[in-house]
Amino acid sequence: MNLERFTAGELIRDTYTIVRHLGSGAFGDVYLSRHRYMGLQALKVFPRQEGTDALEEAYLLTKLSHPNIVRVFEANEFKRAGESYGYFSMEYVEGGTLSNTVDSGLPSGDRVSLGRDILAGLAFAHSQLPPIIHRDISPSNILIDRTHDCLSAKISDFGLAKHVDPDSLVASAAGKYLYMAPESFLGKHSTATDVYSAAIVLFELFTGKHPFRVGLSASATASEIANVVRESRTQLIPNLSDCSSEFGSQWDYLFQKALAHDYEDRPGSAQEFLAQFKNACEATDRGSASIGADDAHAMVTEAKRLSEHLKRRPVHSCFARSPCLRMVSASKGLAVTLRCLRDKCR
């Protein structure tokens, strides 16, 4: 985004004094500012564009008061040198983004705690009526709070992705597309879309690796990047336990579901994803690498769902994509059910 930078000491609306520039993105520039009465705040500044007005949705963002969401205090507009700008004033989080934390050598317990924070914040947004969809869950939109004894994660920039200037997209395309769900490339967004993006972020946080192999050229255009990433979504979903010895097999089913290509096969919202995440945590705390009762129940439910699915439509690769195939040994009773379904798929 080619915005003329604000300089330290500049005053905005007689309220915010610019302290320093913090960073830039496709949506705008972020500054550390000092509010006249409320101290340090982050200020996201962006150009006002005809037909693309994020300020109209500011009231939705101010409703999101949760410890794992960056708080938005105010949204307004101002003029500078004849140009119109909008801004959001937000909670200032000092610890940087998750992008700087993924490769920092954090213990697995801290990584799981940050993952729980991310899902808790997203679940709160999805619980609103109507649900608030983020559209751009990625490490650069997750801030790390280091002000207390333990780390915590906070999600920022809810809903702002749809207001991005297309001319500014190329520079940030890799970071944007790498976490997109398959249907997002078709312009479809839902709570299940956020679940997919969050699952990639968590997989990367836990293993240090992206779940899909993506080879990108440094000179690739935004369109070329989108095509490469979209093709990568047809790859088999890896098991988390194969990528990191710190995580047992109880985590595999969780990510197999959340990264399903078909959004109907994923958890429908972050609330559902968070509940399954907590089940995996509890299984880990019990020191069990085997499939627990909650997972077995989920597998039986999945088998029943597949059975009903087979009655409604012809079967091709639907069952081949199901994570249940990898878990038939967990329960003899379930194995019989799955074997019957598999025979029908042949």
Please confirm, yes or no, whether 149 is among the known catalytic residues: no
Nearest to 63 by CA among 132, 160, 122: 132
For CA atoms 184, 306, 297, 289, the dihedral sign is negative
Strand partners, 31: 21, 43
Written as six digits, the tokens of 245 are: 């010895």
Rounded CA separation 300/169 (Å): 44
For CA atoms 190, 193, 197, 200, the dihedral sign is positive
For CA atoms 339, 248, 241, 297, the dihedral sign is positive
Specify the 3-state DSSP secondary structure of 327: helix
Written as six digits, the tokens of 47 are: 């150009």
Report yes or no: 97 and 201 within 8 Å, Cβ to Cβ: no
Strand partners, 32: 20, 42
Rounded CA separation 1/28 (Å): 6
Report yes or no: 17 and 33 within 8 Å, Cβ to Cβ: yes
Q: For the chain, what is the largest distance between any 2 Cα atoms, rounded to a whole number of angstroms?
A: 73
Written as six digits, the tokens of 346 are: 């042949």
Report yes or no: 33 and 42 within 8 Å, Cβ to Cβ: yes
The residue annotated as part of the active site, out of 29, 117, 136, 145, is 136
Report yes or no: 248 and 289 within 8 Å, Cβ to Cβ: yes
Rounded CA separation 233/260 (Å): 9
47: cis peptide before it, omega within 30°?
no
Report yes or no: 229 and 182 within 8 Å, Cβ to Cβ: no
What residues are annotated to the active site?
136
